[in-house]
Amino acid sequence: MPQLRELYDSHSAYWRDMSRVIPALASIAAFAAGVFADYGATIYASARASNSVTDIILSNTPVYDVDGFFVYGAMALIVFIFGVCVLNPRRIPFTLYSLAVLFFIRAAFITLTHLGPFPDQTSITASESIGIYFSKFFFGDDLFFSNHTAIPYMMALVYWHRTWLRYIFLAWSVAFAITVLLGHIHYSIDVASAYFITYSIYRFAIWAFPREYALFHEYSN
């Protein structure tokens, strides 16, 4: 198929150019480090979680069973982001650096204040089928700020110039925001703040990684 051949040629040319391979590998390493920092911070915050607090939305909304979309929607998002990067390897460095910075900053935030989860939280039964280690990325007392809301919104900002991707990621972010509130998985402040914090992180990523940002926009596709 011509499309597959074009994709193969694109990757072949990209991964033979050491000036681009090194930044790509560095971004992958930074992303992995960010994921583990977020993971470690989640364990830390969960071990030190204290009492819950009231919330203007959660206290006035019944809890709903949202575990299916909460878990498998997140897994689908991961696969989708991977696919978007695979379609154009020039997207990899800036995409992964943006997410890495997001994870590192979130890890710092969730270690500061150790609120307990809201009392009537949805039961996440989907965790039984995805493994104990993977499930820890989804289930813990890592409340501030909402990763489910922030990650697709970050991707919407990164791919803002691609209209269809922008709206897909924005819709994903809003759907996750509603999901975590209906399931009482996050406090409303965790969700609302995610949009403002994520935008600031995106602007910081542009400043911190100008070459990767320029490479990302080298071609509009």
The answer to whether 57 and 192 have CB atoms below 8 angstroms apart is no
- What 8-state DSSP symbol labels residue 179? H
What distances in angstroms separate CA 118 from CA 62, 63, 103, 127, one per listed residue? Answer: 12, 10, 23, 19
Distance, CA of 180 to CA of 118 (rounded, Å): 11
Per-residue pLDDT of the chain (221 residues; tens, 9 = 90+): 556 767 666 767 777 777 788 888 999 999 999 999 998 998 888 888 888 889 999 999 999 988 788 888 988 999 999 999 888 888 899 999 999 999 999 999 999 988 888 887 766 655 555 544 555 555 566 788 899 999 999 999 999 999 999 999 999 999 999 999 999 989 999 999 999 999 999 999 999 999 999 988 875 55
Name the nearest CA neighbour of 203 among 101, 87, 116. 101
Distance, CA of 117 to CA of 143 (rounded, Å): 8
Name the nearest CA neighbour of 96 among 180, 219, 213. 213
Residue appearing with tokens 């910081």: 204
User: Which sequence spans correspond to the domains of the chain?
Assistant: 2-216
